[in-house]
Homo-oligomer: A and B are copies of this chain.
Amino acid sequence: MRLEILPVPGIGHVTEGDDLAALIAGAAPWLRDGDVLVVTSKIVSKAEGRLVDVPADGPERLAERDRVLAGETARVVATRGATRIVQTHHGFVMASAGIDASNVDKTRLVLLPVDPDASARALRAALRDRFDLDVAVIVSDTMGRPWRNGLTDVALGVAGMPAIRDHRGEVDPYGNELHLTQMAVVDELAGAGELIKGKCDQVPVAVVRGYLDAARDDDEGARTLVRDASLDLFSLGTAEARAEGLRAAALLADGTGPAPADPAAVDRAIAAVAEVVAPGTVFTHVTDREVREGLAANAPDWPATATGLVLGAAPAPVDRADLVRFGADLQRLRIALAAEGVPSALLPPPAGTTASAMLAL
């Protein structure tokens, strides 16, 4: 068993309306059934006319590029300096939505194909129907990734084979069942294709021979590789998520919730803010149930669902400015509680105590 990776030279410049199937079949008359074609998305985009005119330079070019980027963007994921990592309408997370200014006139930008799986299916169908070639087609592009320097080619679209090779349920020689091993083989094939394309000049198509016994239609496409943002642990840039946390703190809701899973959470929150509140400020976690119920009974706004209580006392003697400062410090505690997963509600101080306010938890 062996795989071969072959370049397809001689395709030349591709322009709108070009017949990619004819160009590829003409340049590689040696193609065989079962070959996997790795086709650089740029020539697919060009053939499909996914180009926009932009000024060759100057601020007008940048402004127009920003406008084009906004159109290709479903969601901004992270920004730093001029870098824009966005999620495209396809769901891909890529720098600049995959918009590319290389290998094209200075007055044009190349956008990703509208539906790379459909592009792959169309090319596969054309090669099968008009050239009697039953091959798989991968539409590939170059992407960066978190945590690792350097770029790799991955699959934007695929037809004629599944995107994933699923080893789940297989048992290794030691009797351990494999639980997690779903390999994104089309990404590995796209990367393998890049190895030969990168060694040649201007070769937009590579062929991987020997990987498939035969191509077969598969409805899933490379779309199945797109992880839903709600399931992704890294759906947002770190700085953006931190800022979201800050904004959430500013808008913190008033209200109680279920008792904290960890009884020490309240004391941890009090300890967390101890260094930053005004000297002499005292927060007391009232853990004695009888005391708590006595205080709550005298608080007209005490929520029926509350399960905990913190008393807060401003440093004495207090003037108006001290009470404002105390309120600010109490809000610090409420946010620290929220960071521990403990919601709270701010209430006036209980009658008959020296407290300045209390929190219902």
Instruction: Tell me whether A183 and B192 are in contact (CB under 8 A).
Output: no
Residue A165 lies at the interface, judged by CB distance under 8 Å to chain B:
yes
Instruction: Tell me whether A150 and B184 are in contact (CB under 8 A).
Output: yes
Residue A288 lies at the interface, judged by CB distance under 8 Å to chain B:
no
Residue A67 lies at the interface, judged by CB distance under 8 Å to chain B:
no
Q: What is the 8 Å Cβ interface bit string for chain A, positions 326-361, against chain B (1 contact, 0 not)?
A: 111111111110110000001011000000110000
Docked complex Cα distance between A281 and B272 (Å): 29
For residue A229, give the distance in angstroms from its CB to the closest CB of chain B. 8
Contact segment of A47-55, A116-124, A246-254: A246-254
Residue from A163, A191, A236 having most chain B Cβ neighbours under 10 A:
A191
For residue A251, give the distance in angstroms from its CB to the closest CB of chain B. 5
Residue A28 lies at the interface, judged by CB distance under 8 Å to chain B:
no
- Chain B contacts for A188, CB-based, 8 A: 152-153, 191-192, 194-195
Residue A289 lies at the interface, judged by CB distance under 8 Å to chain B:
no
- Chain B contacts for A232, CB-based, 8 A: 146-147, 238
Residue A215 lies at the interface, judged by CB distance under 8 Å to chain B:
no
Instruction: Tell me whether B273 and A250 are in contact (CB under 8 A).
Output: yes
Specify the chain B residue showing the minimal Cβ separation from A323.
B323
Docked complex Cα distance between A165 and B149 (Å): 12
Copies of this polypeptide in the complex: 2
Q: What is the 8 Å Cβ interface bit string for chain A, positions 72-116, against chain B (1 contact, 0 not)?
A: 000000101001010000001100000001111110000000000
Given known A150-B182, A346-B324, contact A236–B241 (CB-CB < 8 A) = yes
Q: What is the 8 Å Cβ interface bit string for chain A, positions 185-199, against chain B (1 contact, 0 not)?
A: 101110110111011
Residue A235 lies at the interface, judged by CB distance under 8 Å to chain B:
yes
Instruction: Tell me whether B148 and A226 are in contact (CB under 8 A).
Output: yes
Docked complex Cα distance between A104 and B174 (Å): 6
Instruction: Tell me whether B195 and A189 are in contact (CB under 8 A).
Output: yes
Q: What is the 8 Å Cβ interface bit string for chain A, positions 234-245, against chain B (1 contact, 0 not)?
A: 111111111111
Docked complex Cα distance between A221 and B135 (Å): 37
- Chain B contacts for A338, CB-based, 8 A: 246
- Chain B contacts for A152, CB-based, 8 A: 183-184, 187-188, 191
Instruction: Tell me whether B5 and A3 are in contact (CB under 8 A).
Output: yes
For residue A308, give the distance in angstroms from its CB to the closest CB of chain B. 18
Given known A1-B196, A173-B202, contact A187–B148 (CB-CB < 8 A) = yes
Given known A188-B194, A327-B331, A332-B250, contact A242–B245 (CB-CB < 8 A) = yes
Docked complex Cα distance between A198 and B2 (Å): 12
Docked complex Cα distance between A300 and B148 (Å): 52
Q: What is the 8 Å Cβ interface bit string for chain A, positions 145-163, against chain B (1 contact, 0 not)?
A: 1111111111000000001
Instruction: Tell me whether A106 and B175 are in contact (CB under 8 A).
Output: yes
Instruction: Tell me whether A5 and B7 are in contact (CB under 8 A).
Output: no
Instruction: Tell me whether B321 and A324 are in contact (CB under 8 A).
Output: no
Given known A85-B233, A147-B227, contact A176–B245 (CB-CB < 8 A) = no
CB < 8 Å: which of B1, B225, B236, B249 contacts A250?
Answer: B249
- Chain B contacts for A216, CB-based, 8 A: none
Instruction: Tell me whether B321 and A150 are in contact (CB under 8 A).
Output: no
For residue A27, give the distance in angstroms from its CB to the closest CB of chain B. 14
Residue A22 lies at the interface, judged by CB distance under 8 Å to chain B:
no
Specify the chain B residue showing the minimal Cβ separation from A327.
B327
A-B complex: 7 closest residue pairs judged by Cβ atoms: A245-B245, A327-B327, A150-B184, A249-B249, A241-B241, A188-B191, A321-B348
